[in-house]
Structure 1
Amino acid sequence: MTDETVGFVGLGIMGLPMAKNLLDAGYHVVGHNRSDDPVEELVEYGGEDGGSPAGVAEASDVVLLCLPDSPDVENVVLGEGEETEPVIDGLSEGMTLVDHSTISPTVTEAIAERLSDRGVAMLDAPISGGEEGAIEGTLSIMVGGEEEVLNEQRDVLDVLGGTVTHCGPSGAGQTTKACNQIVVAAQMVGVSEALVFADQAGADLAAVVEAISGGAAGCWTLDNRAPAMIEGEFDPGFFAEYQYKDLRIATDAGEAFGSPMPQTALAHQLYKTMVQNGMGRDDNSGVMQVIEMMAGKRTDD
């Protein structure tokens, strides 16, 4: 048991299991979420309701965030939106804000500068590993910010992640996460194309996956998503609409830095198709359904 209190704002598909892991590790956890049900679940598990983002910060030694997009973080942290009790109002000098959201690197840098003016440190620490990783505490955490600040918070982050990597100064964690999503999307689309092709050709899909997983084609998607993809099961571990958003961040950053991203741009359009066809809350492996549509197959066949 520790006397440290961790605030957690954003108790969604990733945030709630992360907060529960902190409780299991002996931390006091004070939480807030836009909807009430996750907060009630956290309280039932042993946490406390902070009442508002500012209330969470006031009650905590360190504050963690896990929110959907850049505007959400700006609103919740700085009050640049509808939030009237933002995190910044409850922070005090010497505290640290750790943002596990996936947002724009430039937005991260701007928020970090605002907090620094208040004597508050910020780490951008986006995560990868899906709902399973959040539940099991095996997330990959990519951290931007001062290494000394990371070392001060490493015990907390070690509860949540199997790997915690310092990637550089403020914004570097978000840049690294964009790289992660570029590769993840390439895997999802590639495996989807392979499975639809194999099915069209009349092959045994399970045998195809077994045969290619041990060779150069082996990847996380084949190991962790292909069996469900074969069955047409796309229960979310990571929402396709979030993958779409993350790829927008990546392509925007690529444009800003003059980095060509032809494959990522294509993947972005495929995930846009998912969102526009009501599949945004499916798992990101559900991009296979778009390839099936292109092949003239019904998605519920």
Structure 2
Amino acid sequence: MSRTVGFVGLGIMGLPMAKNLIDAGYDVVGHNRSDEPTEELVEYGGEDGGSPAGVAEQSDVVLLCLPDSPDVQRVVLGGEEESDPVIDGLSEGMTVVDHSTISPTVAEEIAEELAEEGVTMLDAPISGGESGAVEGTLSIMVGGDEDALDEQRDILDVMGETVTHCGPSGAGQTTKACNQIVVAAQMVGVSEALVFAGQAGADLEAVVDAISGGAAGCWTLDNRAPNMIQGKFEPGFFAQYQYKDLRIATDAGEAFGSPMPQTELAHELYKSMVQNDMGRDDNSGVMQVLEMMAGSSVHVEDQ
């Protein structure tokens, strides 16, 4: 419990995760590209690391929660837009845990570069949305050295309800891609069902109640359908991030020769969300694209 945890990337997921670590008694040093989240962390009891390198210098282990592969490469290894990357503040024997969702091959490449510096990298993407981050009930999928995971498990247990070792470096990201394939399928499937039911004149709440307890029961019906019926798409997980994750999955599918017909369709629907300025809506907001295709809105607003 005496370890200091560094946290780089205090967004919709990262900030509540960092707060949970403070609540659990850890000293947390944070950094975010924009100042407001870092200020909120400091007000909560954390410290401002000043830069990614500054966070690493003051920490025993560094956690990341960033948007995409280029962001992780830049923040960890440096580049034109990052003069103080994490790697400059790391010491031999430290561990970096990346909770971002990125390409499995990029995760492997970063792990190899850090290993040359005597630093261990765990790719540990997360699932559960903002509510899971706030409540500390995330699912954490870990790739990398299992002994390194065991050393950091107490930290991960604060943020996640399930922490699963999935294999060597990159395996956590592969598992997350599988997760996002299924999540997108649920979101699109429930959206399609609700739009169909609305077009047919059925009571949407009754439809959800009826099918939730049977073979169609799923996380989306339980956790998102009530808001979808009311046209409420406040973000728990941004649609633009879902789009990005599906791009990672389809790119990996192409690389590994794996057929992904359903995922390609979901990818195009989320692309439509982004192109229609809905990228900051919740990923359940894909229902709006199907409503656009149907030519009418079936949700009941301000119910």
Fold in common (TM above 0.5): yes
Q: Deviations over 1:3-30 (max 9, x none)?
A: 2100000000000000000000000000
* Rounded Cα–Cα distance in structure 2 between residues aligned with 1:219 and 1:157: 26
* Rounded Cα–Cα distance in structure 1 between residues aligned with 2:195 and 2:117: 54
Which residue does the alignment assign to 1:98? 97
Contact residue 198 and residue 298 of structure 2 kept, 8 A = no
Q: Deviations over 1:134-182 (max 9, x none)?
A: 0000000000001000000000000000000000000000000000000
Q: Which residue identity lines up with residue 86 of structure 2 in the other structure?
A: V
Which residue does the alignment assign to 1:222? 221
Q: Deviations over 1:204-256 (max 9, x none)?
A: 10010000000000000000000000000000000000000000000000000
Which residue does the alignment assign to 1:294? 293
Q: Deviations over 1:46-74 (max 9, x none)?
A: 00000000000000000000000000000
CA drift of 1:299 comes to: 8.4
Is 1:271 the equivalent of 2:270? yes
TM-score, structure 1 as length reference: 0.99
Contact residue 195 and residue 298 of structure 2 kept, 8 A = no
Runs of 4+ in 1 over 6 A off after TM superposition: none
Aligned pairs for 1:55-74 (under 5 A) are: 55-74=54-73
Is 1:4 the equivalent of 2:3? yes
- The secondary structure found in structure 2 opposite 1:229 is helix
Contact residue 240 and residue 281 of structure 1 kept, 8 A = yes
CA drift of 1:297 comes to: 1.3
Which residue does the alignment assign to 1:199? 198
TM-score, structure 2 as length reference: 0.98
Distance 1:171 1:224, change over 3 A: same
Q: Deviations over 1:182-205 (max 9, x none)?
A: 000000000000000000011110
Which residue does the alignment assign to 1:190? 189
* Rounded Cα–Cα distance in structure 2 between residues aligned with 1:84 and 1:104: 23
Contact residue 188 and residue 287 of structure 1 kept, 8 A = yes
Aligned pairs for 1:1-301 (under 5 A) are: 2-298=1-297
- The secondary structure found in structure 2 opposite 1:16 is helix
* Rounded Cα–Cα distance in structure 1 between residues aligned with 2:95 and 2:296: 51
Q: Which residue identity lines up with residue 229 of structure 2 in the other structure?
A: I
Contact residue 21 and residue 159 of structure 1 kept, 8 A = yes
Contact residue 293 and residue 299 of structure 1 kept, 8 A = no
CA drift of 1:298 comes to: 4.7
Q: CA RMSD in A?
A: 0.9
- The secondary structure found in structure 2 opposite 1:30 is strand
Contact residue 195 and residue 205 of structure 1 kept, 8 A = yes
- The secondary structure found in structure 2 opposite 1:76 is helix
* Rounded Cα–Cα distance in structure 2 between residues aligned with 1:297 and 1:111: 47
